[in-house]
């Protein structure tokens, strides 16, 4: 196994005494809150509230008012409403939110989720034609559409009004839609710009229900939480509120589909948190779209039939198992193709072996291993379908924009993007992306780093500190789980685990207590009696009781002795 790169450990600035005084709390709480941008007692109260928090008026979003008027008109006149989604978890949950929110209003609905390979991301001419033939008069997009200028024009020519809900960055030329709901539009005055597709779908239904003076349908906040977490959106401001409220709903108001998904994933509703969604539920919901069609996951989230719910959950479990196996196999192929990367500023790998739905996962694994941006390209005939992942030091989507003349289609974010192109210009793409990476890095080699909240042993975190950590949840992008440094920890036992022996399990003693620990993707022999480690404290429900353990993010031979 090739080890991951050695990481640079960065201890965060100690909280200034005046801010610690202003926060009026313990040293540890003040430090953790300061590290998360909390500076005043009012901010502290808002951040630590159980379920309340920023939740902005949906009518502040661009074009929301006119979109609701058109939507009500369509419902009252029994027009068929098309809902065009996307095949990732954010798009699937967003589509489900609109369907589940509009059903109680007796709206006539035609949901449509595109095929990842055959249609790709975003509106397409074939789908619009299918929806037109289904007599759709109003088309609502979720998690896409802001760049779909010709497709919206086509829909208009077919006498379809289009309401776009999208959270991606708008291009200079906007589509001529009936309504453009995107908090990133230049003229937007909405207070928060980082909503996801699922978050925007929730805001649309929320605005509609407010207009109709109805209570929001149960279950929608839970779906919005799943989409927000899966899309790795920053869990700050309104996203934090959506996830906090959604997690409460997912624990108490469980749909048939979610209940079946919990069972196949061996999850208890009461133990559900952002980590369980990120590493257990989201991969299963994503698996059908990666290997087959995302409608399997959509059907699971919207079914009212217990037998269907169980069968769909089992089907997703099968897809997810197949996805894991394919990822391991294709990663080995990618590593063999790449060979030594030396000082290469970007990893570019292509081949007929790669599957479009798995390419992004392979790229993520390569980024984790080598700390370089990585693009994995699937070759099928003359067509290349690619997925890339990046690091904070490299804006991947901007680099792709510099090569836009090479692509038939492209899009994404600074950290994740993709494209479709003809194979004939592959060598040119290699050269131009390598040059772009060279320019961004300016000859320096990027080094991964871990930011550490403070130095504390695991035993020191028991009692009140662990209760404080609970109150800081939900954790995710923008609000990471508290990370600690512990030095000279005694290693009592180690063993390699995982189907490829890629993980390391340890028994440790910190001078007060013994701990079970896991170091994911750090499978290696430990020759030192003591280690310094950067870690999180994790909690699990095991046989009805709470079990504490350590997740080691990085470690090395101890440089100090007790």
Instruction: Say yes or no: domain 8-48+449-557 is CATH 2.40.50.460.
Output: yes
Buried b (16+ CB within 10 A) or exposed e, 25-40: beebbbbbbbbbebee
- In the β-sheet with 374-380, what is the strand arrangement from edge to edge? 347-351, 374-380, 383-389, 416-422, 407-412
User: What DSSP designation does 341 have?
Assistant: -
DSSP string, 135-199: TEEEEEEES--TT-HHHHHHHHHTT-EEEEE--SPPPSSPP--SEEE-TTSTT---S-----HHH
300-349 per-position pLDDT tens digit: 999 999 999 999 999 999 999 999 999 999 999 999 999 888 888 999 99
Q: Which residues contact 282 (CB under 8 A, 6 or more apart)?
A: 89, 226, 229, 230
Cβ partners under 8 Å of residue 329, min gap 6: none
Dump pLDDT digits (tens) for 462-473: 988 988 998 899
Question: 84, 148 in Cβ contact below 8 A?
Answer: no
Q: Which CATH number fits domain 58-249: 2.60.120.620, 3.90.1150.10, 3.10.129.10, 3.90.1640.30?
A: 3.90.1640.30
Q: What pLDDT, on the 0 to 100 scale, is given for residue 248?
A: 93
SS3 content of the chain, % helix, strand, coil (to 5): 45, 20, 35
Q: Residue 170: name the closest of 152, 156, 153, 186 by CA.
A: 186
Residue 1 has pLDDT above 50, yes or no: no
What's the average model confidence in pLDDT over 118-136? 94
What is the phi/psi pair of residue 289, to 5°? -70, -25
Question: What is the Cα–Cα distance from 30 to 270, expressed in whole angstroms?
Answer: 29
Region of poorest pLDDT, from 41-55, 93-107, 212-226? 41-55
Report whether 273 contacts 243 (CB < 8 A).
no
Portions of the chain given CATH number 3.10.310.30: 339-441
Omega of the bond prior to 474 within 30 degrees of 0, cis? yes
CA 15 – CA 479 distance, rounded (Å): 17
**Cβ-Cβ contacts under 8 Å for 369 (sequence gap 6 or more):** 2, 4, 5
Alpha-carbon span 99 to 109, nearest angstrom: 7
**Mean confidence (pLDDT) of the chain:** 93
Element (H, E) at 81: strand 80-84
φ, ψ of residue 374 to 5 degrees: the values are -140, 140
DSSP 77: T
Rounded mean pLDDT, 511-535: 91
The runs of H, that is alpha helices, within 339-450 are 356-370, 396-401, 426-441
Q: Which CATH number fits domain 339-441: 3.40.190.10, 3.10.310.30, 3.40.50.720, 3.90.226.10?
A: 3.10.310.30
Q: Is 80 exceeded by the pLDDT of residue 547?
A: no
Q: What's the pLDDT at 2?
A: 43
| All residues at 6 or more sequence positions from 268 whose CB lies less than 8 Å from its CB, including other chains | 262, 541
Calpha distance 505→117 (Å, rounded):
39
Q: Which residues, including other chains, have CB under 8 Å from residue 521's CB and lie 6 or more apart?
A: 4, 368, 502, 503
Q: Which residue in 198, 95, 182, 107 sits closest to 145, CA to CA? A: 182
Q: Give the model's pLDDT for residue 444.
A: 82
- For residues 366 and 376, give the distance between their C-alpha atoms in angstroms, rounded to a whole number: 9
For residue 213, the SS3 value is: coil
**pLDDT above 60 for 187:** yes
Residue with tokens 């509106």: 123
The pLDDT of residue 414: 87
Give the model confidence (pLDDT) of 148-170 as tens digits: 999 999 999 999 999 999 998 88
How many other C-beta atoms can be found within 10 angstroms of the C-beta atom of residue 97?
A: 33
Q: Which pLDDT does position 352 carry in this prediction? A: 95
> What is the model's pTM?
0.92
The predicted model gives 39-58 an average pLDDT of: 85
Phi, psi of 19 (to 5 degrees): -75, -40
Percent of the chain whose pLDDT exceeds 90:
80
| Start-end of CATH 3.90.1640.30 domains in the chain | 58-249
Residue 549: closest CA among 518, 525, 509: 518
Tokens at 493, concatenated: 């036992």
- Whether the per-residue pLDDT at 113 is higher than 50: the answer is yes
pLDDT (tens digit per residue) in 255-271 = 999 999 999 999 988 88
DSSP-derived letter for residue 317 is H
Strand order across the 161-165 sheet:
108-112, 80-84, 136-142, 161-165, 179-181
């Amino acid at each position: 196994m090739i080890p991951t790169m050695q990481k640079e450990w960065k201890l965060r600035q100690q909280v200034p005494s005046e801010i610690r005084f202003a926060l009026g709390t313990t040293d540890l709480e003040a430090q953790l809150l300061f590290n998360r941008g909390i500076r005043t007692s009012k901010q502290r109260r808002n951040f630590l509230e159980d379920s309340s928090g920023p939740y902005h008026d949906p009518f502040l979003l661009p074009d929301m008012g006119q979109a609701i008027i058109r939507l009500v008109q369509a419902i009252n006149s029994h027009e068929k409403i098309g809902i065009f989604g996307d095949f990732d978890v954010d798009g699937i949950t967003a589509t489900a939110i609109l369907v589940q929110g509009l059903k109680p209003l007796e709206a006539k609905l035609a949901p449509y989720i595109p095929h990842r390979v055959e249609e790709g991301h975003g509106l397409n001419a074939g789908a619009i034609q299918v929806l037109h033939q289904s007599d759709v008069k109003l088309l609502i997009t979720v998690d896409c559409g802001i760049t779909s200028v010709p497709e919206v024009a086509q829909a208009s020519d077919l006498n379809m009004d289009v309401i776009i809900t999208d959270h991606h960055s708008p291009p200079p030329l906007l589509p001529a839609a009936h309504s453009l709901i995107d908090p990133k539009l230049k003229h937007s005055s909405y207070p928060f710009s980082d909503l996801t597709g699922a978050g925007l779908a929730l805001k649309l239904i929320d605005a509609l229900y407010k207009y109709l003076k109805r209570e929001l349908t149960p279950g929608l906040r839970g779906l919005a939480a799943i989409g927000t977490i899966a899309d790795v959106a920053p869990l700050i401001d309104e996203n934090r509120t959506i996830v906090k409220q959604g997690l409460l709903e997912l624990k108490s108001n469980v749909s048939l589909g979610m209940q079946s998904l919990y069972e196949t994933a061996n999850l208890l509703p009461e133990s559900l948190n952002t980590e369980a969604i990120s590493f257990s539920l989201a991969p299963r919901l994503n698996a059908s779209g990666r290997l087959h069609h995302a409608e399997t996951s959509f059907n699971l989230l919207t079914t009212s039939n217990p037998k269907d719910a169980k069968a769909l959950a089992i089907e997703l479990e099968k897809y997810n198992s197949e996805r894991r196996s394919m990822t391991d196999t294709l990663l080995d192929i990618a590593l063999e193709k790449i060979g030594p990367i030396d000082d290469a500023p970007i990893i570019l790998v292509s081949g007929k072996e790669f599957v479009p739905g798995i390419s992004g996962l392979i790229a993520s694994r390569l980024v984790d291993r080598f700390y370089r941006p990585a693009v994995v390209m699937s070759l099928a005939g003359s067509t290349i379908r690619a997925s890339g992942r990046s690091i904070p030091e490299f804006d991947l989507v901007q680099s792709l924009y510099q090569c836009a003349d090479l692509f038939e289609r492209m899009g994404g974010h600074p950290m994740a993007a993709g494209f479709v192109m003809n194979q004939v210009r592959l060598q040119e793409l290699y050269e131009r992306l390598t040059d772009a990476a060279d320019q961004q890095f300016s000859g320096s080699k990027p080094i991964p780093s871990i930011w550490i909240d403070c130095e504390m042993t695991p035993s020191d975190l028991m009692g009140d500190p662990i209760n404080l950590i609970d109150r800081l949840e939900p954790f995710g992008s923008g609000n990471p789980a508290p990370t600690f440094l512990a030095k000279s920890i005694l290693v009592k036992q180690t063993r390699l685990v995982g189907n490829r022996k890629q993980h390391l399990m340890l028994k440790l003693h910190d001078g007060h207590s013994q701990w079970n620990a896991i170091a994911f993707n750090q499978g290696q022999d430990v020759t030192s009696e003591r280690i310094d480690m950067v870690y999180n404290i994790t909690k699990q429900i095991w046989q009805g009781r709470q079990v504490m353990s350590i997740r080691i993010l990085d470690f090395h031979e101890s440089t100090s002795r007790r």
